[in-house]
A and B are shown apart, each in its own frame.
Chain A
Amino acid sequence: MAVNLKQLAVEFEDPNKIGITSGHRLCPGCAAPMTAKMALMVAKHLGYDVVVGLATGCLEVSTTIFPYSAWSVPYIHNAFENVAATISGVETAYRALKKRGKLKREKPIKFIAFGGDGGTYDIGLQALSGAVERGHDFLYILYDNEGYMNTGNQRSGSTPPGSYTTTAPVGKKLPGKPQLKKNIVEIVAAHENVYAATATVGEPIDYMNKVEKALNFEGPSFIAVLSPCVRFWRIPNDAAVSITKLAVQSKYWPLYEVEKGVYRITKKPRSFKPIRDFLEQQGRFRALLSRPDADKVISMLQDYVDKRWERLLALEEATKDKPAR
């Protein structure tokens, strides 16, 4: 089933059916609620009931300020580091109750965990790896805003080089964070029997197709969604969607999926844009761009994304029809 927008619009005419309601306190133009609502709509459209788990992060603190909750689906939050462990416990409880015949419901339940990049790349990495290794049937959606934006722009394992953060500022000595971004999809894809993919809100149909595939996949699945933070990427409120389109075109965020070790690039742009275009649109790189050594960082980044794209193309060719398990 390819996602049909008109059909979805009829089905979710009442916005309270989506699962995440209006009245949450995320910044205007934030991409995190888009990430959440698209995934929830696909899950419900496929006939599943959804249980959501949230790691600490913007999405969690802004949607569940006591006594308000913006969730109309069952929701669980535990701590920063353990959303994957929490949701795997919920999933196991569901399976156990079902096995003993204590659940009198027909509709199957799917478990979706949402985590930010702090709760996934850094703090929640071992809980995620454990849950994937144990093979729980859940979907982990990472909304990647490339920093600890909730607490005011600290560097995370996901922050790109040259970006301005309060803990790796662009100063006299350093041009921002010197290290490259961690490749989280490769880390998850290195586990056995897993579906891992990248997506972004700028390519919603591609993203929703991946959610569908991930939900129907038997076993753990993971989708990394590039989800801009308008506040600390220093972009205009309405730019979250256009900037991610540019991220795909500049090879900064290649769209691909890894199903049991088989790589597939889901979008191959006909022409590419230089990475400089992507950086120039964002205020977090402004301090870098005004430095004399800016070209060094940019050419390093350009070289990296080019090589990664070539590598992806080669992997796609090499792993064709060779699933690991």
Chain B
Amino acid sequence: MADLKKWHELPIGGVIDKPATALAYKTGSWRVMRPIWHEDKCTSCMMCWLHCPDNSIVVKGGKMTGIDYEYCKGCGVCASVCPVKAIDMEPETKFLEEAE
């Protein structure tokens, strides 16, 4: 609470004066199911990348390289649009120990 800005320090009318500040808000904590990417099956068709509502599919030079778990909400759209089933959805509880 201490580092909150005072009312007179805020922009007038609550206007957001910097772009893309939402990047500071990590939506990955919402995730219940975690997408697991299998590199061997992936053909880099880019369908998951195109559909991902949270821009969480990481690509490099036209190839898929992984999933950004910082923002991934675990909706599973990537797994459902994948034509070769290279993404599996697994419950987040499986990874609890790993995180600790």
Contacts of B45 in A (CB 8 A): 5
Q: Which of A5, A68, A237 contacts B75 (CB 8 A)?
A: A237
Contact (Cβ within 8 A) A16 B51: no
Give the contact-size bracket for chain A.
35 or more
Contact (Cβ within 8 A) A30 B22: no
A21-29, A115-123, A165-173, A187-195: which lies at the interface: A21-29
A268 CB, nearest partner CB in chain B, Å: 22
Contact (Cβ within 8 A) B21 A67: yes
Contact (Cβ within 8 A) B14 A30: no
What is the predominant secondary structure among interface residues of chain A facing chain B? loop
In the complex, which residue of chain A has the Cβ closest to the Cβ of B46? A5
Q: In the complex the two chains form, what is the Cα distance from A67 to B24 in whole Å?
A: 10
Contacts of A21 in B (CB 8 A): 20, 22-23, 55
Contacts of A26 in B (CB 8 A): 53
A31 CB, nearest partner CB in chain B, Å: 7
Q: Known interface pairs A13-B60, A34-B53, A67-B16. Does A238 touch B80 (Cβ–Cβ under 8 Å)?
A: yes
B57-85 interface mask toward A, CB cutoff 8 Å, 1 = contact, 0 = none? 00111100000101101111101110000
Q: In the complex the two chains form, what is the Cα distance from A241 to B49 in whole Å?
A: 13
B18 CB, nearest partner CB in chain A, Å: 7
What is the predominant secondary structure among interface residues of chain B facing chain A? loop
Contact (Cβ within 8 A) B53 A23: no
Contact (Cβ within 8 A) B21 A68: yes
A44 CB, nearest partner CB in chain B, Å: 14
Contact (Cβ within 8 A) A29 B81: no
Contact (Cβ within 8 A) A238 B53: no
B27 CB, nearest partner CB in chain A, Å: 6
Contacts of A70 in B (CB 8 A): 20, 22
Contacts of A31 in B (CB 8 A): 53
In the complex, which residue of chain B has the Cβ closest to the Cβ of A242? B80
- B54 located at the interface, meaning its Cβ lies under 8 Å from any Cβ of chain A in the complex: yes
A60-103 contacts to B (CB < 8 Å): 63-64, 66-73, 75
Contact (Cβ within 8 A) B51 A204: yes
Q: Which of A9, A33, A67, A69 contacts B53 (CB 8 A)?
A: A33
Contacts of A10 in B (CB 8 A): 59, 61-62
Contact (Cβ within 8 A) A201 B62: no
Contact (Cβ within 8 A) A6 B46: yes
A204-257 contacts to B (CB < 8 Å): 204, 230, 236-242
Contact (Cβ within 8 A) A71 B49: no
Q: Known interface pairs A10-B62, A72-B20. Does A28 touch B50 (Cβ–Cβ under 8 Å)?
A: no
Given contacts A25-B25, A26-B53, could you give 9 more A-B pairs where the C-beta distance is less than 8 Å? A22-B54, A28-B75, A29-B77, A68-B24, A71-B19, A201-B51, A238-B75, A239-B80, A242-B80
